[in-house]
C-alpha cells in the first residue's frame, strides 16, 4: 500500500519518513539472563537493524533495561548477573572470551536515564572518550572530534562559546544532549539509550527525541522507554517486553495501530500495568 502510493505521490516527505535501514546490526538468539535465582530474560530472539531507532517498551521489571545492558555488557559490573545465549554485533559474538568489554563499549555507546555529565568542562566531557581510546593524534584532531560530536548531539550552537565551563552547569536537556555527544564522540556503531528523557521536561524531551531521529542516519539506536508515546514518536521498530519475554516485535506504526498480540494491545491501550 505504502509503496503504491509512494509511486503515485512521489512525495519525498513520505519516503523520508518510511526510510529505515535493512541491514541487521545486532542479532540476539536464545538469550537468557539470570540475576541470582531470578530469571530476568527468557529465551529472547531479536534482530536489530542498522540506521533504525528500535524502541523497547514494557511494564517495569519486564527485562527491557536488562536486555539493553546486555548489549554493551554493562551487566558485567553486576556480580550476580549471568547471560546465556548468543548476542552478535556484526556477526561477532560479544560474549566471546576474547572480547574485552572496554572495546565493546567504545563500539556500543550508552546514554543513561539521568543526565550524568562528568563534573568537568563541556570540552573534557566530550574529549574523555576519544582521549582514552587514543582517537586523536593532536590537539587539533581532538578539537575537531569534539566539535563534530557536539554538532551531532545538536548542542554545538548552544555551547560553542563556553566549552570550558562545567558540563554540570547546563540545563537537564542540554546535559542529556551533552551525554549523547559524549557517547557519539567515541565513534560508536550502536547507541543504547536507557530512558534518556525520563528526567527531562517536555520541551527538552522533544529536543532529545528530534536528536534521536537524526542520529538514526548514522547509527543503530536502541532506546528503552517507559513512555509508549515516546516509543511511538521516535522509533521505527518497537519491541514489547512482558515478564522477561519479548512478546511482539514489529514496525512501530503496526504495533500502535494494530498489535498482533493481545498482551501488547492491553499494554499500549493501558489495560495492564
Partner 1 sequence: MTDLSSAPGATPAGVRKPHSLYEVDALTKRRNATEFRFRLYGIIAIAISLSVLALMLFTIFSDGISAFRQASLSFPVTLTEEKLDPAGNRNREEMAKVTTIGYSNLLKENFAAYVNSQGFEVEGLTDAMIGDMLSRDAAAQVRNQVLADPELIGTTIDVTVLANGRIDGYLKGRVNREEALRDKNVTPEQLDLTDKLVDQGILTVAFNWGFMTRPDASDQRPESAGLGVAILGSAYMMMIVLVLTLPIGVAASIYLEEFAPKNWFTDLIEVNISNLAAVPSIVFGILGLAVFINFAGLPQSSSLVGGLVLTLVCLPTIIIATRASIRAVPPSIRDAALGVGASKMQTVFHHVLPLAMPGILTGTILALATALGETAPLLLIGMVAFVGTHPSAPIQGFFEPATALPVQVYGWASRSDPAFLERSSGAVIVLLFFLLIMNAIAIILRRRFERRW
Partner 2 sequence: MTGDEQHIMRAYDRDLEAIQAMIIKMGGLVEDAIMNGTASLVNRDTELAEKVRAADKSVDDLEELINEEAARTIALRAPVSTDLRIILSVIKIAGSLERVGDYAKNIAKRTSVLAEMRPISGSDGTLKRMAREVQTMLKDTLDAFVRRDEALARDVINRDQDVDQMYNALFREFLTFMMEDPRNITACMHLHFIAKNVERMGDLVTNMAEQIVYLTTGSRPDENRPKGDRTAFMDGVD
Nearer to partner 1, 41 or 127 (CB): 127
210 binds partner 2 (CB under 8 A): yes
> Residue 266 contacts by C-beta under 8 Å, 6 or more apart in sequence?
272
Judged by CB under 8 A, which of 17, 82, 260, 271 binds partner 2?
17
Q: Binding of partner 2 at residue 206 (CB under 8 A)?
A: yes
201 binds partner 2, rule: CB under 8 A: no
Torsion, CA 145, CA 204, CA 21, CA 11, rounded to 10: -120
Residue 14 binds partner 2 (CB under 8 A): yes
Find out whether 101 and 76 touch, Cβ atoms under 8 Å.
yes
Which whole-number Å values give the CA distances from 134 to 106, 129, 141, 184, 237, in the listed order? 11, 8, 11, 15, 34
| Beta strand pairing call for 190-194 and 108-111 | parallel
End-to-end CA distance of the chain: 35
Please choose which of partner 1, partner 2, none residue 16 contacts, taking the beta carbon within 5 to 8 angstroms, the exact cut-off set by kind.
partner 2
Min dist CB 223 to partner 2, Å, is 14
Residues in contact with partner 2, shown as a per-residue x/- string from 218 to 257 under the rule CB under 8 A: -----------x--xxx-----------------xx--xx
Q: Which residues contact partner 2 by CB under 8 A?
A: 1-2, 4-5, 8-9, 11, 13-14, 16-17, 203, 206-207, 209-210, 213, 229, 232-234, 252-253, 256-257
Amino acid at each position: 500500500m505504502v509503496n503504491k502510493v509512494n509511486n503515485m505521490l512521489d512525495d519525498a516527505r513520505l519516503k523520508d519518513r518510511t526510510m529505515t535501514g535493512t541491514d541487521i546490526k545486532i542479532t540476539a538468539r536464545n538469550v537468557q539472563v539470570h540475576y541470582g535465582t531470578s530469571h530476568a530474560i527468557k529465551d529472547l530472539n531479536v534482530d536489530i537493524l542498522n540506521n533504525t531507532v528500535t524502541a523497547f517498551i514494557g511494564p517495569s521489571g519486564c527485562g527491557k533495561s536488562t536486555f539493553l545492558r546486555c548489549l554493551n555488557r554493562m551487566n558485567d559490573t553486576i556480580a550476580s548477573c549471568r547471560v546465556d545465549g548468543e548476542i552478535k554485533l556484526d556477526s561477532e559474538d560479544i560474549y566471546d572470551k576474547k572480547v574485552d568489554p572496554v572495546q565493546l563499549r567504545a563500539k556500543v555507546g550508552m546514554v543513561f536515564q539521568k543526565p550524568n555529565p562528568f563534573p568537568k568542562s563541556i570540552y573534557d566531557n566530550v574529549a574523555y572518550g576519544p582521549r582514552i581510546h587514543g582517537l586523536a593524534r593532536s590537539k587539533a584532531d581532538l578539537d575537531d572530534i569534539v566539535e563534530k560530536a557536539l554538532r551531532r548531539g545538536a548542542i554545538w550552537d548552544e555551547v560553542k562559546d563556553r566549552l570550558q565551563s562545567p558540563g554540570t552547569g547546563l540545563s537537564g536537556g542540554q546535559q542529556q544532549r551533552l551525554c549523547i555527544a559524549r557517547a557519539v564522540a567515541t565513534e560508536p556503531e550502536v547507541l543504547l539509550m536507557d530512558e534518556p528523557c525520563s528526567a527531562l521536561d517536555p520541551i527538552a524531551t522533544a529536543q532529545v527525541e528530534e536528536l534521536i531521529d537524526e542520529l538514526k542516519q548514522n547509527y543503530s539506536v536502541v532506546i528503552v522507554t517507559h513512555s509508549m508515546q515516546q516509543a511511538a514518536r521516535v522509533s521505527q521498530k518497537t519491541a514489547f517486553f512482558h515478564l522477561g519475554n519479548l512478546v511482539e516485535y514489529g514496525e512501530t506504526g503496526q504495533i500502535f495501530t494494530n498489535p498482533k498480540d493481545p498482551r501488547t494491545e492491553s499494554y499500549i491501550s493501558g489495560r495492564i500495568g
